Amino acid sequence: MTQITLAMAKGRTAKDSLSLLNQAGITFPDFDSKSRKLVFYSADKKVKMINVKAIDVTTYVEQGAADIGIVGKDNILEADADLYELLDLKLGICKFVVASLNDQPIEKGDSLKVASKYTRVTEDFFKEKEVNVETIKLNGSVELAPLIDMADAIVDIVETGTTIKENGLTILDEITDISTRLVVNKASFATKTKEIQDFITKLKNVVE
C-alpha cells in the first residue's frame, strides 16, 4: 500500500477541511484539535496527515515532505511555490483588497507606503498597476497602519468588510478571490498518480 502525506493548515481551515474529508469518507479517528500531536493517520492508513502552520503548507509540499496540502489561496500566492494547484475546496471564501482612509483611486505612477502581511502579493499587484510601493510587513491589525500615518494604504483579506468599515477605511480595489485549495507536489503527482487522483476524486464528488 502506497501512503500519501497530507499537510493540513492549522486553525479554522483544518476544521472545515476535515469536515469535507469526513464527507468524502477520509476520516482521521485519532485527530483532536486540542491535542499537541502533529501527525495523524486516516482510518484506512492510506493518508498520513501532518498538522502545520498555514504559512508553511506550501513549503512542505514544494519540498516533497508532503505529497498534497490543503491551504488558503492567500498563502499559495504569497509563497509563489512550484507546485500544482488542482482543486478549489470552496471553503473560507473571501477577497484580497486594497483599502485606505483616502477614497481617491490609486493612479499609475503614484508612490505609496502599503502595510500588509502579504508583501509579495502587494508588490506584484502594484507592479502590474505601475504604482511605486514601499511595503511594510505587519502580521496583524494592519488596519491600524493608515490610522497612525504609518502607511497610505493596506492590502488585506476581507470576508464581510466590517473591520475595514469600522476603522473608517474604504476599499479601493479588489485584487483576487481567495478560498481553500488543494495543492500537490509535482514529483509526487508523477510517482503516486493513482493515490493522489483517488484522493482528489473523493473530494471533488463532495465539493461539486
- Domains recognised in the chain with CATH numbers: 4-92+179-207 (3.40.190.10), 94-177 (3.40.190.10)
Return the HEC string of 137-153.
ECCCCCCHHHHCCCCCE
What's the pLDDT score for residue 120?
96
Residue 185, pLDDT > 80, answer: yes
Q: Residue 104's pLDDT is what? A: 86
- Asked if the model's pLDDT at residue 33 lies above 80, the reply is no
> In this structure, which amino acid lies at residue 131?
V
Q: Is the pLDDT of residue 187 over 90?
A: yes
pLDDT of residue 91: 94
Residue 52 has pLDDT above 90, yes or no: yes
Residue 96, all three cell numbers? 484580497
DSSP state of 80: T
Please, which contacts does 28-31 make with residues 24 or more away whose CB atoms are closer than 8 Å? Answer: none
